[in-house]
Structure 1
Amino acid sequence: MPTPAGTQYKFVNQNSKLCMEVAGISLDPGAAVDQWTCNGQANQSFTLTPQNNGFAIIAAHSGLCLASASLTAQGPQITQQACNGTALQTWQISGMSVKTLPSKWTAPYNLTLVPAAANLPDGTVVAWSADSQVDFTSGEVTPGNTYTAIFNPATGTSKQVLVTNTGHDMFCPGIVNLPDGRIFVTGGSSSDKTSFYTPSTHAWSSGDLMNIPRGYEGSVTLSNGDVFLVGGSWNGGMGGKRMKAFALMRLSSVTHSVNNEQRRVPVSFTVGTAGEYLVAIPSDPGVVVPGYYMLFALNAKGVPSVSRTLLIQ
């Protein structure tokens, strides 16, 4: 029977009064489990973790799980093994029960497209992919169509429709549920477009163009019903993403109202093959005096990024 010992347990044979232990204090998988005089050593202490309507019994000293060699055979069968959650490592313990939740995952459903998705008030799910069911057209110039589907979790069925009337390729957009039950989709491959899905009519319609084209953005419905968008863009300089300049700003050192370290150094840069920016620091120590600098990136409007502090030696 298990006897609590702090957050761990020891198992005592009611007939022999001996304790269950991992033989020889072994740390190795396959080590035998036997009974021995109770001595309080770590190889006689175990933790319990719920699994599969039972418990995993984990040796405190090794972190390995007690495992039976067979589900049916009798004899000296128990060893410690790497934990794997199988039936051979699941134990029923008298006087202890596992609290099971009524919820569980179903088997996977097969859909005809690779979806983005949004829940609808009636319990169905509206899903869509791109201008292809299982792929997408890269870049900004796409056919402007989107494969959509309505999935019914209760029946496991879906009905697919190709949406062409909006001219909106909705691959990787922002998605929100509106207070009136509609779904609002912003940007994506057609990065300046917006679309509405109306559940009552099962229809897609176009919305206003966005001031800043976006894709992969974050979006959230506010308490007043407005929608807040942030971030996004993956193509070129959409959304002010492309940097036009970089500059080093020397960290300040002020005395008597004079900043003795005041120094701004424009730096040149190139764009790498993966779209990264490669900044060229001037090698002249008379221009870039060794020390700490803030490196700023500036977009086309001259708006600086949050700086990264560099030590230039």
Structure 2
Amino acid sequence: MSILQRSLIAKIFLVSFLSVHVPLIALVVYLLTGLDTGPVSIFTLILVATVVGTGVCLLVMWRFIRPLQHLAAALQKYPDDKCVLKLHAPGKDEIAVVTDATKSILVQLEELTKKLKHQATTDFLTGLGNRRSLTEQVPGLQSRAQRAGEPLSMVLFDLDNFKMINDDYGHDVGDNVLMIVGEIVKDSLRPYDLASRIGGEEFCIILPRTSGEAALKIAERLRAAFQECYLEPLPKGRITCSFGVVQAEADERLQQLLRRADAALYRAKETGRNRVIGAFADKSQ
């Protein structure tokens, strides 16, 4: 019995063997009963037994193969609905083994795909998104904001005199500065905000449901938090950033937003650094 449970070939062989011999078995039983042995009766008996044996064989074979059909259909639909991961193959035969192995491989593939996607869209140093993440997600955020009639703002900032930190204290300290900036950003924002490191020391934050005036206040809180943070061997207050803030206009593309925010950021640098400037109101804090 265990061989039949584990072997599809053994089950097919047994069913085929019995089905082929149904006419012979029926004939022997018929003769033993002592009923009419005329040629018409014998022919009719063998014909009926053959049809019954063939039908039973096809039905049983269909039941054997049905899990394989389900697997094939699920694999065809896999890119769209991932239903193959929900398949259950009864028994322990080769089809069940193939189904379980396929599910296991696909689960590993899904995990690997998610990991690779995360790596491709995440800055490894800060844990924030990267420029690719920003490019992929901003159009969707803008579309949702327009449909809901809600404002959306951008905060662009970079570290002041970051090259001097690398030159004076080394790149390890510079990396630590970037990491602490990333941690402050993550701790300061809402779950639906989008923060990305888009350059060496340049960062971008997308703020859905946020007006330009509200974005100025958020940027000011971040500016103060950076200035207050302390990281050895840097003196306290050495980590500062300059900010440019803009509110998105209708149908404005990401590159247009970035240009406007970058212009505001440039003015913040020109007017002394460690400050926030909004392009829409042209005021600093």
Q: TM-score range by the shorter chain?
A: under 0.3
Between Structure 1 and Structure 2, whose CA radius of gyration is higher?
2
More helix by share: 2
TM-score, normalisation: structure 2: 0.26
Give TM-score, length-normalised by structure 1. Answer: 0.24
Structure number with the higher strand fraction is 1
